[in-house]
Structure 1
Amino acid sequence: MIPYILIDWLFDSVVLSLFTVITIIYYLSTSTYDKWRKLNVQHIHPVPLFGNVFKMIMGLEDQITAFGRIYRRFPNSKICGFYQMRTPFLMIRDPELIDAITIKDFSHFTDHGLEFDPSINLLARSLFFANGQKWKVMRQKLSPGFTSGKLKCTNDQIKECSDQLIQFVDEKLSKQSDGFDVKEIFGKFTTDVIGTCAFGLKLDTITDSDSNFRKYLNEIFGNNFKQTCIMMLGMVFPKVVKFFKLRSFPLEASNFFYSVFTDVIDYRTKNSVVRNDLAQTLMEARKELVLNGDNATGDEKFTDLDIISNAILLFTAGAETVSVTAAFCLYELALNRDIQNKLRDEINSKNEKYGGQFTNEFLMDLHYADMVLEETHRMYSITVNIIRQATQTFKVPGMDSFIIEKGQKIVIPMSSIHHDPKYYPNPKTFDPERFTKEEKSKRPNSTFLPFGEGPRHCIGMYS
């Protein structure tokens, strides 16, 4: 009799314990899911733990599809709510409100709110991830590196890299007839351009099939399963990622670029090398913020790691974004021969006008080329969303008493807006004529956001 009683007791204990554990897990995974209901914000009912991004996390749909589905669900709303895993996000759909958040009332939304630990992720110290005063100071120090005057000085270097690219393509075409990877070739080209123009590095990546620069760039931006899992875990339990010091960026790649840019700065400093480039801007920032920055303390204090982190960001992000845009642009030109011919005619005409000289005046006069690139940016946005976090409580204009609380994460669905027929009829059609002055004047502000908007727009927007 006693053994049966003991078995029953153990069984009941196991069932009770299992029920308790499941209840706790369920509570923790759904405890945030009443926020939008309480605030009477339209939202999609979330799935426990995964929120409204289950298919995206499972790899069943990409980000564009996932966020586009949420965007289209509430076509008449200025805002809507959703849950990225357990985190409540507010999606901003209205261009006028986007304009307020990114420009007019930017002081309420200065931070991206991306949580990466700078002690284990070097890129977390860079401009893109920095918040508050540290972002503001670094932005001010780096902006002089992107003036029109400095960019004009790079024309000869870009032409040299372009000539090398054309020679490489000609040789490729003479040896094979089955095509080649345009994105990879442009990746090599942009790596060489940024290497020489911004950092004075002669990389010859175009002809070097074993370039470490390309290898580690691909590691940072590639679809690595381990890194994807860490990013997913960070969405649900950021404290776990921080506790176990899990790296969101490959360590070997970070170490490689850290070594390269440290050597560049050390060499220039020791040999008194001065060039009118981005590396010089970083060195001047280092002098002011690190070597002479005695007043800063704690998290506001700058170190050499901050300077190197920004060098890595500007190099890697610049090379990758330009190569991807160029690849998509060529893809659309190949599909649309009439646009290709019109663009070629403009380039040939302007080339003759300026005597075959690759000057800033020649580039600024390529108006149709600008329209082609803008349409490429619209159709193939490099990033899907703009992320912000409220740094102050914000009363939403025109929405009675609705308030965005301090700390609330928001999403501006850039790609979804770029494909909204309300602003861009037949959005799947590649049509540069959307970007004539007349057509642009018909659209509301903040409906074309490939580089973001306001004080926190991409620092390389005009380069």
Structure 2
Amino acid sequence: MFSYSPSWWLNIATFCVIMCMIAYYFCTWTFTKWEKLNVPYVRPIPLFGNFLNVALGFEHPVDFYKRIYNELAGHQYGGLFQMRTPYLMIRDPKLINTILIKDFSYFPNRGIYSDFSFNPLSNNLFFMENPQWKVIRNKLSPAFTLGKLKLMYDQIKECGDEMMKNISKNLTENSNSEIEVKDVIGNYSIDVISTCAFGLKLNTINEENIVFRRYGKSLLKPSLRHLLKELSLMVTPALLKVIKLKDFPADALDFFDSVFRETITYREKNNIVRNDFVQVLMQARRDLVFNENLLPIEKFTETQIVANAFVMFLAGFETVSTTLSFCLYELALKKGIQEKLRDEIISQKFKNNGVIDNDFLVDLNYLDMVLAETLRKYPPTFALFRKASRDYHVGNDSLTIEKGQQIIIPTLSLHYDANYFPNPEVFDPERFSCEQKTKRQRGTYFPFGDGPRICIGKSFAELEMKLALVEILTKFEVEPCRKTEIPLKFSKKTFIMMPENGIWLRFKHKF
């Protein structure tokens, strides 16, 4: 029979108290940062910081940042805690503009962590830090010059023709004329990025290419895996080294790694030269992988070249398909705006003798305004992230942002600030008339980012979106249907703006 002395129970109790104190300290020791620096901040709770509702799936990150932004009203900046990690949110447009452009050298990196040893395809332009980021950016920029874009126009047009066939096919099979536009536009954007950037003639409406399409769409599909990865990162990056979660589904990564390597190898062996992104990548491969006369920071690996092919594919199809879907959604709800845009397209087409070419697209000013307003309401990224590479003193202020500090620039929150965009919930392209744009303060609108780290494919995406809208609106009216969700609900399982139930619209033949 066992007997336990009081001292034994006391030792157990003391041990438990000590462990609880250590756990509490681990969960809260970062929480004194903003108070010590005399920075206004939103009070956190242990471990979760200000992120509890997002972690539990009760709040989308979009709403989280809006809430924090509003709680810090009246301040240039303020502190918050994503789990245990302290972030500094920059609210003041002048300071934002300075950080992104004038003082970019202090904030050249996004500060978004990925374990490249476990996620080699994440070692790309998006995640990469200076100075390697600058090296590869300079090598890839020639792929997106105005001259190169003009050469790609005919290829984009062919993809647009296939998109229209796909829409007609859907309408034939669906007596209600109801289409989930994200799916149809997703096929188009995958075709465009695959054809123009990688020379792969996919035509995704054909069954034999369903594998490529499926893997492409799986990359950003909402999942608990992705949410768990983000939460683990905010607790401590060391946790990711233990649980080893992939940034993207492993089978999709293996598929695209194989496709891009085979494409490059095939072209090298057969001396194929094309005016596309792969050609630029192949030149970068020769310059940065096989060149022996390079400094260590300039030396790249084969995998890094493939990783940059991967990120261009991912960004190229997701940004376009999502933005176009949101645009068609707003046009369906605002028939007056849709008709005004259609009138501009038809008028310009008549002046251009019915020819739809690159110059024709450039002259569609109201279309530019419609896309700009879409990107205001639904920016591809709802926040920009930066990390200080050295101590930075905020001008005319007592704050010094310490080296390594992560900052948030709340893109969508600024886009919805009534001080800069009156009645922000209303879809109003007139905000982007020449007169209104000249009045707007800089540092309040940047859907593709700003400064040296602005999206490298911005012009390519805009060309692709404009052509798709011209093709669709010339032939169809879009309107709400019984499946149209008003307002849209966004999936809380992903850190991007993705409709939870898709975007359903009715297409009616216009002519």
Instruction: Pick the TM interval, shorter chain.
Output: over 0.9
* Structure 1 match to 2:492: none
* Structure 1 match to 2:267: 268
Q: 1:296 to 1:243 in 2, by over 3 A?
A: farther
CA contact (8 A) 2:220 2:248 kept: no
* Structure 2 match to 1:231: 230
What CA distance in whole angstroms lies between the structure 2 residues aligned with 1:128 and 1:3?
Answer: 62
* Structure 1 match to 2:361: 363
* Structure 2 match to 1:419: 416
Partner residue of 1:437 out of 420, 434, 438: 434
* Structure 1 match to 2:130: 132
What CA distance in whole angstroms lies between the structure 2 residues aligned with 1:280 and 1:206?
Answer: 26
Q: 1:434 to 1:293 in 2, by over 3 A?
A: farther
- The answer to whether 1:198 aligns with 2:197 is yes
What CA distance in whole angstroms lies between the structure 2 residues aligned with 1:271 and 1:33?
Answer: 59
What CA distance in whole angstroms lies between the structure 1 residues aligned with 2:121 and 2:323?
Answer: 23
* Structure 2 match to 1:394: 392
What CA distance in whole angstroms lies between the structure 2 residues aligned with 1:393 and 1:356?
Answer: 57
- The answer to whether 1:409 aligns with 2:397 is no
Secondary structure at 2:246 match in 1: coil
Q: Shift of residue 70 of structure 1?
A: 0.5
What CA distance in whole angstroms lies between the structure 2 residues aligned with 1:343 and 1:352?
Answer: 14
Counterparts in 2 of 1:50-449, with a 5 A limit? 50-178=48-176, 179-208=178-207, 211-297=210-296, 301-399=299-397, 401-449=398-446
Secondary structure at 2:408 match in 1: strand
Structure 1 counterpart of 2:405, one-letter code:
Q
Q: 5+ residue gaps in structure 2?
A: 461-511
Secondary structure at 2:126 match in 1: coil
Partner residue of 1:25 out of 23, 35, 43: 23
What CA distance in whole angstroms lies between the structure 2 residues aligned with 1:136 and 1:292?
Answer: 18
CA contact (8 A) 2:379 2:412 kept: yes
Aligned residues: 459
Q: Shift of residue 209 of structure 1?
A: 8.1
CA contact (8 A) 1:110 1:391 kept: yes
CA contact (8 A) 2:155 2:195 kept: yes
**CA-atom RMSD, angstroms?**
1.5
What do residues 288-330 of structure 1 show as CA deviations (whole Å, max 9, x unaligned)?
0001144233x65300111100000001111011000000000
CA contact (8 A) 2:90 2:96 kept: yes
Please identify runs of 4+ aligned residues in structure 1 that moved more than 4 A.
Answer: none
Q: Shift of residue 181 of structure 1?
A: 1.1
Q: Shift of residue 244 of structure 1?
A: 4.5
Instruction: State which drifts further: 406-415 or 167-176.
Output: 167-176
What CA distance in whole angstroms lies between the structure 2 residues aligned with 1:197 and 1:124?
Answer: 22
* Structure 1 match to 2:491: none
CA contact (8 A) 1:185 1:206 kept: no
What CA distance in whole angstroms lies between the structure 1 residues aligned with 2:359 and 2:424?
Answer: 32
Instruction: State which drifts further: 450-459 or 239-248.
Output: 239-248
What CA distance in whole angstroms lies between the structure 2 residues aligned with 1:449 and 1:293?
Answer: 40
Secondary structure at 1:154 match in 2: helix
CA contact (8 A) 1:378 1:418 kept: yes
CA contact (8 A) 1:192 1:206 kept: no
CA contact (8 A) 1:67 1:413 kept: yes
Secondary structure at 1:355 match in 2: coil
What do residues 194-229 of structure 1 show as CA deviations (whole Å, max 9, x unaligned)?
111111101111333861222112221011212321
What CA distance in whole angstroms lies between the structure 2 residues aligned with 1:210 and 1:358?
Answer: 28
What CA distance in whole angstroms lies between the structure 1 residues aligned with 2:299 and 2:113?
Answer: 19
Secondary structure at 1:173 match in 2: helix
What CA distance in whole angstroms lies between the structure 1 residues aligned with 2:61 and 2:243?
Answer: 27
Report % sequence identity. 46
Secondary structure at 2:63 match in 1: helix
Counterparts in 2 of 1:3-18, with a 5 A limit? 4=3, 6-18=4-16
* Structure 2 match to 1:462: 459
What CA distance in whole angstroms lies between the structure 2 residues aligned with 1:311 and 1:455?
Answer: 20
CA contact (8 A) 2:382 2:412 kept: yes
What CA distance in whole angstroms lies between the structure 2 residues aligned with 1:24 and 1:439?
Answer: 56
Q: Shift of residue 436 of structure 1?
A: 0.3
What CA distance in whole angstroms lies between the structure 2 residues aligned with 1:134 and 1:292?
Answer: 15
What do residues 317-351 of structure 1 show as CA deviations (whole Å, max 9, x unaligned)?
11011000000000000000000000001111111
What CA distance in whole angstroms lies between the structure 2 residues aligned with 1:232 and 1:300?
Answer: 33
Secondary structure at 2:43 match in 1: coil
Instruction: State which drifts further: 429-438 or 242-251.
Output: 242-251
Q: Shift of residue 7 of structure 1?
A: 5.0
- The answer to whether 1:48 aligns with 2:46 is yes
